[in-house]
Amino acid sequence: MLLNLIEPALIDWSRAQFALTACYHWLFVPLTLGLAVVMAIMETLYVIRRDPFWKRAARFWMKLFGINFAVGVATGLILEFEFGTNWSNYSWFVGDIFGAPLAIEGIVAFFMEATFIAVMYFGWNKVSRGFHLAATWLTGVGATLSAWWILVANSWMQHPVGMQFNPDTVRNEMMDFFAVAFSPVAVVKFCHTVLSGWLTGAVFVAGVSCWYLLRRREQPLAFASLRIATVVGLVAALGVMATGDTSGVQVARHQPMKLAAMEGLERGGRRAPFSLVPGVEVPGALSLLATHDVDGYVPGIRDLLDGYVHPDGTVVLSADEKIRRGRVALDAFRTFRADTTAPAAKAEARQRLMDHMPYFGYGYLSSPERLVPPVGLTYWAFRVMVGGGMFLLVVLAALLFFERRGTLGRRRWLLHAGLWSIPVVYAAGQAGWIVAEVGRQPWAIQDLLPVEAAVSRLDPAAVQTTFFIFLVLFTVLLVAELRILCRAVRKGPED
């Protein structure tokens, strides 16, 4: 199954369909994570202070949370089904590993959300304040646990660990669950992604509050919500920066080609510069970010393709040599699987396969240039992510500063900036996932399985048709959600 390469049109349309679904899904997930924190804090204040104002505020943001949550579930289910429909070779090859966190997510986290969200929405005046508050917090915890297991699966694709290939079953089998579930890459990605979700929710609340202040409506609610949102947003933004720094070191270690593409770095070396924009560089900054040493060595695209010797003496093979070794592994695999192979030859082929297994995925690549991801898209997406994050940090800090001074209402330019921060935070979030996923191409699983060997054998026209069906469906859902959200915001909180 894995040995037959598939036509490029099918690969491109399958990737496009999965990217479409993932991008739409990620429009809803961050807001779910962020609003869960804001509304839980407000209900906590209601329980502590017994002030109906906070109950009214919590119920208002809870209503917006529910609208967003419902659409996010629909897109998430379709995304998981696509692993079986469009990427069946991938699912067969690593299903024993990849399926475990997704199964836990469905059985534990998703059902936890479904249980407590019912109490949260329909339990007002039916259960005690404390029980209802616990249900609200546990709804957010369930959403966060759901994100944990999904990000464990994604992180394993970025840095596969804890498994061993079994040539008899043509599957990678999990050898260490805890290595998969708690790898440093998974922990950092989870923290970075969840904190970015908190930032999204905080910016959304701040933006809506700014809209109310611009319209001179619901001002007590707007000021109170803005105060909570800016504090949550600033904490989240600083956390995103810290985890992003750690993630950069991990990318440099495990996915150096992605880092080179993020910087458009053709030739690397010591004191590698960081490119702010083309033609404007900060000497040594990339080395500092990637290695925490201004003199650290960072390879460029050509270094990774041609091979190089690291200053510490480590020899990094050229792409041609990795491809050659990968084809040796594939030839050994064919020999091992052939029915006509004698037992002694089968044993020899198995040993040769296992010796070259680290390069197995490279054997599918047609040329070294396939190892280079789309540099332009990765480069600019990274700058949109970082630039958007810096903008949001400044706006949130300014909103909190002037709100505490009591002069925010007179600074309409800042209120407009707060309102326009909503599309900025979504653009930054989408750009971050573009960097993560486009930057690791051509790999479905880093260094192990390229997309051309992972895709299902389908008619490209069928995938193309479903792509446009999903495009229309998701767009309709998005427009419907935006209209319902805007209508709810215009209506305001219920008395």
Is 269 in a helix, a strand, or coil? Answer: strand
Do 187 and 309 reside in the same domain of the chain? no
Dist. CA 283–CA 179, nearest whole Å: 37
Do 156 and 304 reside in the same domain of the chain? no
Highest mean pLDDT among 9-23, 166-180, 200-214: 200-214
pLDDT digits (tens, 9 = 90+) for 333-379: 999 888 788 888 989 999 999 999 999 999 999 899 999 999 999 99
Inside any domain, residue 260: no
pLDDT digits (tens, 9 = 90+) for 182-239: 999 999 999 999 999 999 999 999 999 999 999 999 999 999 999 999 999 999 999 9
Instruction: Please say which residue of 320, 351, 372 terminates a domain.
Output: 372
Do 189 and 54 reside in the same domain of the chain? yes
Do 302 and 181 reside in the same domain of the chain? no
User: Residue 4: is its pLDDT beyond 60?
Assistant: no
With 0-12 CB in 10 A as exposed, 13-18 as middle and 19+ as buried, what is 382?
buried
Task: Measure Cα distances from 202 to 32, 208, 234, 265, 487 in Å.
Answer: 11, 10, 9, 35, 20
Instruction: Please say which residue of 329, 348, 372 terminates a domain.
Output: 372
Residue type at 384?
V
- Whether 93 and 449 have beta carbons less than 8 Å apart is answered as yes
Read out DSSP for 175-212? S-HHHHHT-HHHHHHHHHHHHHHHHHHHHHHHHHHHHH
Q: What is the pLDDT of residue 318?
A: 95
Using a pLDDT cut of 90, give the percent of the chain over it: 69
Average pLDDT, the chain: 91
- Whether 356 and 326 have beta carbons less than 8 Å apart is answered as yes
pLDDT digits (tens, 9 = 90+) for 380-438: 999 999 999 999 999 999 999 999 998 988 899 999 999 999 999 999 999 999 999 99
Q: What is the pLDDT of residue 5?
A: 52
pLDDT digits (tens, 9 = 90+) for 115-172: 888 899 898 989 999 999 999 999 999 889 888 998 999 999 999 999 999 888 888 8
User: Residue 291: is its pLDDT beyond 90?
Assistant: yes
Given the structure tokens 């509304």, which residue do they identify?
A: 39
Is 154 in a helix, a strand, or coil? Answer: helix
Do 41 and 189 reside in the same domain of the chain? yes
Inside any domain, residue 407: yes
Inside any domain, residue 1: no
Element spanning 297, H or E: strand 297-298
Is 308 in a helix, a strand, or coil? Answer: strand
| Residue 480 burial (CB count, 10 A) | 12
Do 52 and 99 reside in the same domain of the chain? yes
Inside any domain, residue 273: yes
Do 161 and 302 reside in the same domain of the chain? no
Mean pLDDT over 324-335 rounds to 93
With 0-12 CB in 10 A as exposed, 13-18 as middle and 19+ as buried, what is 106?
middle
Do 158 and 299 reside in the same domain of the chain? no
Q: Give, as one character, the DSSP assignment of residue 107.
A: I
Q: Which residues contact 409 (CB under 8 A, 6 or more apart)?
A: 213, 219
Dist. CA 378–CA 265, nearest whole Å: 12
Round the CA-based radius of gyration of the chain to a whole number and report it. Answer: 25
With 0-12 CB in 10 A as exposed, 13-18 as middle and 19+ as buried, what is 258?
buried
Task: Measure Cα distances from 98 to 20, 157, 160, 162, 180 in Å.
Answer: 21, 8, 10, 11, 9
Element spanning 309, H or E: strand 308-309
Mean pLDDT over 20-45 rounds to 93
Do 362 and 419 reside in the same domain of the chain? no
How many domains, in total, are found in the chain?
Answer: 2
Residue span of the structural domain in which 23 resides? 8-255+377-491
Do 228 and 154 reside in the same domain of the chain? yes
Helix segments in 362-449, DSSP class H:
375-405, 412-438
| Residue 409 burial (CB count, 10 A) | 15
Dist. CA 199–CA 241, nearest whole Å: 11
CA end-to-end distance (rounded Å), the chain: 61
The CA dihedral of 251, 254, 260, 261, to the nearest 10 degrees, is -80
pLDDT digits (tens, 9 = 90+) for 109-124: 777 877 888 899 898 9
Is 15 in a helix, a strand, or coil? Answer: helix
Do 108 and 46 reside in the same domain of the chain? yes
Do 167 and 95 reside in the same domain of the chain? yes
Inside any domain, residue 196: yes
Inside any domain, residue 341: yes
Q: What is the pLDDT of residue 249?
A: 94
Q: Residue 179 — φ and ψ, nearest 5°?
A: -65, -35
Instruction: Please say which residue of 322, 339, 372 terminates a domain.
Output: 372
Inside any domain, residue 46: yes
Inside any domain, residue 221: yes
| Residue 170 burial (CB count, 10 A) | 15
